[in-house]
Structure 1
Amino acid sequence: MPSARRASVIPHLRRGCADLGFAAAFLALAVLVYAHLWADPARRYLIEGGQDQNQWEWFFSVTAHNLLNGESPLFTTLQNHPLGVNLMANTVMLGLSIPLAPLTLAFGPSATWAVVLTGGLAGSAFAWYWLLSRQLVATRAAAAIGAVFCAFAPPIVSHANAHPNFVVVFVIPLVIHRLVLLHRHRRILRDGVILGVLIAYQIFLGEEVLLLAATGLAVFGLGYALAVRPPTRPVVVGVAVAATVCLALAGPALVFQFTGPQSYASLIHGPAGNDVRALVSFAGRSLAGDATVAGSLSLNPTEQNAFFGWPLVILVIGLVVWLRRVPVVIPLGAVVVVAAAFSLGPEIIFYGEKSGLAGPWEVMSRLPMFESVLESRFAIVCVPAMAVLLAVAADRVIAASWRGAPARVLLGLALAEALVPLAPKPLVAADRPATPEFFTAGLWRRHVREGRALVPAPPPDAADATALRWQIDAGLGFSLPEGYFVGPYGPDRQGVYGTAPRPTASLLRDVRDSGQVPSIGAAERRQARADLAYWRADAVVLGPHQRQAELLRTLTDLLGPGRQEGGVWIWDV
């Protein structure tokens, strides 16, 4: 090889080796976070995620099932029988559940769940590293610092318990990369088309993440335009091309989502803003965190959306002041401030006390699409903005001459003080209860005809979706009434988790929740028969349950004596 050619190849080889090294490191970090899950993916359950793992594994299973049977991946009646579920209106992540269907069919949805979560963290970290190292900073180490924070920040690790749509965000850095190229007047048509394809793909990974990213980019773009006054025509033209391409690719699915069967207008939820204290506290799974304190400041372990810790907050403020002459820094600071303000909700809360002060979310929540977002999640928008600030600062010091040694030491200490307390601890996982033989051995086939429903007692919902796992282990051979999904409720078709419960379902859930056996009379028995007919049910089943004795007495009063088979009680109806 000629020396000139060898000299040109060697830097590329070095960069490639460095990239592979960082990719391996990101994967190792992701595996560490999910170490307890990978101990036995087929049996382990992320217990701080509530019922979401059951729901997501069902999403992966039903997508693979529909593809295998030549059915639409956008709709199913396997839950909420006979009305069904609009899968496009749920977070099914068709962008991954479809290409990973062979994995699901071969090894089960638990394997897909573990791969998506772990690969999502590692892949997202590498995508951020790639963007930072190619477009924003000169040193790979600085890019790695920013990338690790982007993928493993406390809000992301919190969602990593249960929400792969907030973990798998590798498309967002690619979207930003195309916007950068448009800003630099590269091939506008080509970059616009690629941007449109990327946005369409992100729609099939997670629309909420896309909305959050678009909001952050809009704030950054406005701030950058005011500070630098760059020419905007290339970006505007490129975004217009992207919108056209995106609508051509994702438009039909979006029409089905918003107008198809079991579609809904917007998602109902109450005020869910962050307490101001949450912004400077530590998350439950952070190295310096206290689960009790974090739990008192959040909805649940999967919604610890802020928790940046006071050292990082102080460091970010200091970096904005220090680097204020760098064109991107003030706009990045604006993103952090605006996103944090949005996340506080319609009324600012200080240390658990309502202040009476209205937050900017009071206005934002009235806008289309924004009304369906949990406002506390806007704190996630702070993560990439903070990460870029960290990367730019690290790059400045790493690339400095020997005269920069004191600054390098000081920044290193500041970064350690801010980031080490935020290091994630492995997520908690435990063995899930075994599925009864009635489902795994196919005994259910003696009781349920094709196209008919099997009614668990009580039917699955957001509080207990164990029956979804039973259905998966039975090969999705029967339908279930009601369930854990998002669907329409009432004449205004507002989105809710589940559906309007039938009276018998409510009665059985009351027994499950209270342990009290109700008085059953002729009216309750007539209602039970009417509900079973509505569900088109062939059988009712009572599996292992902590309230099994109370539920058994209630079902016996409703339906008469049942019989035991394959580890469950069964009533043919």
Structure 2
Amino acid sequence: MSVDLSVVVPAYNEEERLGPTLHAVCAFLRADPERWGEWELIVVDDGSTDATAKIAQEAAAEEPRIQLVSSRTNRGKGHALRMGVLASYGRRVLFTDADLATPVDELAHLDDELAATGAAAAIGSRAHPEARIEVHQRRLREWLGRMGNRLIRLVAVPGIRDTQCGFKLFDGDKARAAFADSRLTGWGIDVEILRFFRREGWPVTEVPVRWSHVAGSKVRPADYGKVLLELLRLRTRAVRRADLAVAGLFLLASVLLYQGLWADLDRGYLRDAGQDQNQWEWFFAVTADNVTHLRNPLFTTLQGYPEGVNLMANTVMLGLSVPLTPVTLAFGPTVTWALVLTLGLTATAVSWYWLIARRLVRNRAAAALGGAFAAFAPPMISHGNAHPNFLVLFMLPLIVDRALRLCEGRNVVRDGVLLGLFATYQIFLGEEPLLLAAVGMLLFALSYALARRDVARAAWRPLLRGLGIALLVCLPLVAFPLGWQFFGPQSYKSVLHGDNAGNSPLAFLQFSGRALLGSDAGADPLAMNRTEQNAFFGWPLIALSAALVIQWWRLAVVKALAFTAAAAAFLSLGPRFRIPYTDIVLTGPWRALAHQPLFESVIESRVAMVCAPVLGMLLALAADRLAAAENRPRGLRAAGFAALAAALIPVLPTPYPVRERAEVPGFITHGAYRSYLGEGESLVTVPLPTPGSADALHWQSANGLGFPVAGGYFNGPWGPDRIGIYGATPRHTSNLLSDVRNTGRVPVIGPNWQAQARADLAAWRAGVVVLPPQYHEQALYETVTKLLGRPGERVAGVWVWDVGAEGGTR
């Protein structure tokens, strides 16, 4: 059948308006037969309970080009339109509401627009500046409708002024394809169809129309809310079962890794966390306390008393610690710590999986493999001991995807705004991971641009424009927090990490301590510590990756991935590195960045973490191609999958070992300390808390943060140049006590040392000195007794010296 135009009219209980509407449509089309050619008019009765169907049948008896399509029950406008469009044959398809709120003669304007622009759809717009509203609704109803439409535009189809006007003209074949793919049955069908057109790259144009409110209209302001609910339901349906299964597997893997921690949240402590678990639990506790009491979340004096701690300069992950405040208050900071690690690792794996499935491969299993490696790679597992800011990276794939959308140039303003918001949130999760991700993205972009100059020429303008918009959004939001971080109280310029913070080339070939075939004995000599095993991919995986790059070198994406991984690995060697098994020391490229702003505080070995998602993408490509090569010999495919398994099995992560945490002294848990501390006084532990021993932070976080402590484990300034160090500025007495704790030897204490102790206690505004049970306790007791000139008092399991304003040395 050759039909030039199909007109679809959905109708539900329209016996009063349907007859005049059909007469008006037919009269308009008959008046210009040369323009409209062969046409059909399809009435869809959506389960009406009145005479709607009878009126349509009577009209069809007079005009054979009218057809009636009926639904047994009322299913909604979306279902009716789908039935009508799929029953049509027209080269173009118009659908219009039964009330003709937009007169049918407006069809000529839509048809002219399609002919002039070559668009796939022309939609009538009441919100267009040139539209004419001839009969208005009541003001409140009209205002609510506008607000609802704006909300729909914001969350679903930015750039289109009026999604819900019921007068739209489509290319027929494209309309039938869109409606065949549609799922909604209600008012949201308009948005679903427009989103389908946008996804397929089919242009849509808006045409101003005349519109009049018709009494008895079935559209209510609340229907805009129904549209949003339908779109949410559509998004939920769009999640494949395979995606849910993959997310479930990622969650299961994360729980298994942290099973020891979850098994004993009261006493369990990650064995290889150093003092970081104490520190992070304290971060979560102090943030919750600040939020609860409406205090500045960027600063506290509970550590490093009286100078305090610049929390913004200490990666407290405000993006999670603030919203998780109710969890911290209800269940304690250890639960928050375990949740952040477990769910953060899961979310990161899901996010990489989503990006790889969206941008790189079609096979869901291949994408899952790539996402799993990106999140569970040896460097990530190493940081999972102690550094959630380097484990919880679910925003980075979203940032990468938004940057790629900018390169496409479809909606630069929207994508630029979202990129700015995403970057802002990532800053409150971790600035250093964002910096490293930017380095990786820059390396990839440069190498891909060299391989595909045609793509680069088309992408650079929208990308730069979008980045500018992102900066305009991001900078005002982070200006104050970053200003506080870099210039506020207890800010610092850079952090000293020592001369051996780069990776050894051998580290890339070795297995990590947590890998299935690795060991601590093999990994420890090649890493700063067990939380900084930033390479350790293992020689089988490195060999396989090299083979994959050689095999698919012709692909631009493989060239870019290979360059990104190689450059990141080379940078991670640091400013100087030694060629293994020789005495030859070479200058590394990191030397050019080592003293630059922002980079000066980066541990350079961490740049190798960029390799994790890159290698994950190479593995996903390999698995995808193997899965698609059904015409290849079965033995060859089996060999390919065996090679993947041989490279990955050795680096499978094993559960984190857990040790039993030392009990908090009864002096703290029973609240005995309160009688020793006056207003503005601190508790001084022996020795003072440091990055190597910070149990006092757990004393605080587990007992309501009832007292400040001198010393601590945080990043703060040191010296006139305000160089960043780990812990509080050391004083003579704190150094002395640390030496005694390490050696067990009691030094000679004379008047000078006693005077120094009094001065240091005054600087700390000490109210009480506490010596808990520990190694070399007797030596420490003798040292403190000589420094203070009097013996301690045994109270609730600890030695106590009252040094406050009322009972002590000041």
TM-score of the superposition, structure 1-length normalised?
0.97
Cα distance change of structure 1 residues 447 and 6 upon mapping to structure 2, 3 Å threshold? farther
Partners in 2 of 1:49 and 1:472 — Cα distance?
17
Equivalent residue, structure 2, for 1:158? 382
8 Å CA contact retained: 1:347, 1:354? no
Equivalent residue, structure 2, for 1:258? 486
1:350 aligns with 2:588: no
Equivalent residue, structure 2, for 1:37? 261
Three-state SS of the structure 1 residue aligned to 2:305 is coil
1:86 aligns with 2:310: yes
Q: 1:425 aligns with which of 631, 654, 665?
A: 654
Moved more, 216-225 or 408-417: 408-417
Shift of 1:167: 0.4
Aligned pairs for 1:278-289 (under 5 A) are 278-289=507-518
Q: 2:401 aligns with which of 177, 201, 204?
A: 177
8 Å CA contact retained: 2:357, 2:363? yes
Partners in 2 of 1:54 and 1:22 — Cα distance?
33
Equivalent residue, structure 2, for 1:570? 800
Cα distance change of structure 1 residues 479 and 214 upon mapping to structure 2, 3 Å threshold? same
Cα distance change of structure 1 residues 321 and 109 upon mapping to structure 2, 3 Å threshold? same
Three-state SS of the structure 1 residue aligned to 2:556 is coil
8 Å CA contact retained: 1:451, 1:478? no
Cα distance change of structure 1 residues 513 and 398 upon mapping to structure 2, 3 Å threshold? same
Cα deviation code 1:506-552 (max 9, x no counterpart): 11111111111111111111111111111111111111211211111
Partners in 2 of 1:474 and 1:487 — Cα distance?
25
Partners in 2 of 1:199 and 1:228 — Cα distance?
27
8 Å CA contact retained: 1:450, 1:477? no
* Higher-helix-fraction structure: 1
Aligned pairs for 1:468-479 (under 5 A) are 468-479=697-708
Three-state SS of the structure 2 residue aligned to 1:266 is coil
Q: 2:757 aligns with which of 504, 516, 528?
A: 528
8 Å CA contact retained: 1:457, 1:551? yes
Q: 2:421 aligns with which of 194, 197, 215?
A: 197
1:269 aligns with 2:497: yes
Shift of 1:6: 8.8
Which segments of 5 or more consecutive residues in structure 2 lack a partner in the other structure? 1-74, 87-178, 184-233, 804-810
User: Residue type of the partner of 1:244?
Assistant: L
Cα deviation code 1:142-162 (max 9, x no counterpart): 100000101100000011101
Which segments of 5 or more consecutive residues in structure 1 lack a partner in the other structure? none
8 Å CA contact retained: 1:347, 1:355? no
1:544 aligns with 2:768: no
Q: 2:299 aligns with which of 75, 79, 84?
A: 75
8 Å CA contact retained: 1:85, 1:485? yes
Aligned pairs for 1:310-325 (under 5 A) are 310-325=539-554
Three-state SS of the structure 2 residue aligned to 1:571 is strand
Equivalent residue, structure 2, for 1:216? 440
Equivalent residue, structure 2, for 1:370? 599
Three-state SS of the structure 1 residue aligned to 2:307 is coil
8 Å CA contact retained: 1:541, 1:569? yes
Shift of 1:471: 1.7
Cα deviation code 1:224-245 (max 9, x no counterpart): 1111122211111111111111
Aligned pairs for 1:99-110 (under 5 A) are 99-110=323-334
Shift of 1:408: 2.6
Partners in 2 of 1:562 and 1:353 — Cα distance?
56
Equivalent residue, structure 2, for 1:236? 464
Partners in 1 of 2:236 and 2:731 — Cα distance?
64
Shift of 1:400: 2.7
Cα distance change of structure 1 residues 76 and 474 upon mapping to structure 2, 3 Å threshold? same
Shift of 1:7: 7.0
Equivalent residue, structure 2, for 1:131? 355
1:46 aligns with 2:270: yes
1:111 aligns with 2:335: yes
Equivalent residue, structure 1, for 2:89? none
Shift of 1:11: 12
User: Residue type of the partner of 1:490?
Assistant: G
8 Å CA contact retained: 1:439, 1:473? no
Equivalent residue, structure 1, for 2:742? 513
Equivalent residue, structure 1, for 2:43? none
- Structure with bigger RCO (C-alpha 8 Å, 6+ apart): 1
Three-state SS of the structure 1 residue aligned to 2:445 is helix
Equivalent residue, structure 2, for 1:307? 536
Shift of 1:351: 3.7
1:400 aligns with 2:629: yes
Q: How many pairs align?
A: 573
8 Å CA contact retained: 2:626, 2:641? no
Equivalent residue, structure 2, for 1:187? 411
Equivalent residue, structure 2, for 1:561? 791
1:98 aligns with 2:328: no
8 Å CA contact retained: 1:219, 1:334? yes
Partners in 1 of 2:582 and 2:782 — Cα distance?
45
Equivalent residue, structure 1, for 2:566? 337
1:389 aligns with 2:649: no
Cα deviation code 1:39-91 (max 9, x no counterpart): 11221001111111111111111101111111101001111111111000111
Partners in 2 of 1:406 and 1:330 — Cα distance?
28
Q: 1:56 aligns with which of 263, 280, 293?
A: 280
Partners in 2 of 1:7 and 1:183 — Cα distance?
28
8 Å CA contact retained: 1:348, 1:354? no
Shift of 1:352: 6.5
Moved more, 395-404 or 420-429: 395-404
Equivalent residue, structure 1, for 2:231? none
Three-state SS of the structure 1 residue aligned to 2:632 is helix
8 Å CA contact retained: 1:397, 1:407? no
Q: 2:732 aligns with which of 466, 482, 503?
A: 503
Cα distance change of structure 1 residues 492 and 98 upon mapping to structure 2, 3 Å threshold? same
Three-state SS of the structure 2 residue aligned to 1:402 is coil
Identity rate of aligned residues, in percent? Answer: 52
Cα deviation code 1:475-524 (max 9, x no counterpart): 11111112110011111111110132111111111111111111111111
Partners in 2 of 1:563 and 1:11 — Cα distance?
66
Three-state SS of the structure 1 residue aligned to 2:780 is helix
Cα distance change of structure 1 residues 36 and 353 upon mapping to structure 2, 3 Å threshold? farther
User: Residue type of the partner of 1:258?
Assistant: F
User: Residue type of the partner of 1:563?
Assistant: E
8 Å CA contact retained: 1:54, 1:469? yes
Aligned pairs for 1:407-446 (under 5 A) are 407-446=636-675
Cα deviation code 1:370-401 (max 9, x no counterpart): 12111111110111111111111211221233
Moved more, 314-323 or 73-82: 314-323
Shift of 1:129: 0.7
Q: Which entry has the higher C-alpha Rg, 1 or 2?
A: 2
Equivalent residue, structure 2, for 1:297? 526
Q: 1:148 aligns with which of 364, 367, 372?
A: 372
8 Å CA contact retained: 2:332, 2:702? no
Moved more, 175-184 or 349-358: 349-358
Partners in 2 of 1:265 and 1:120 — Cα distance?
30
Partners in 2 of 1:203 and 1:441 — Cα distance?
39
8 Å CA contact retained: 1:53, 1:162? yes
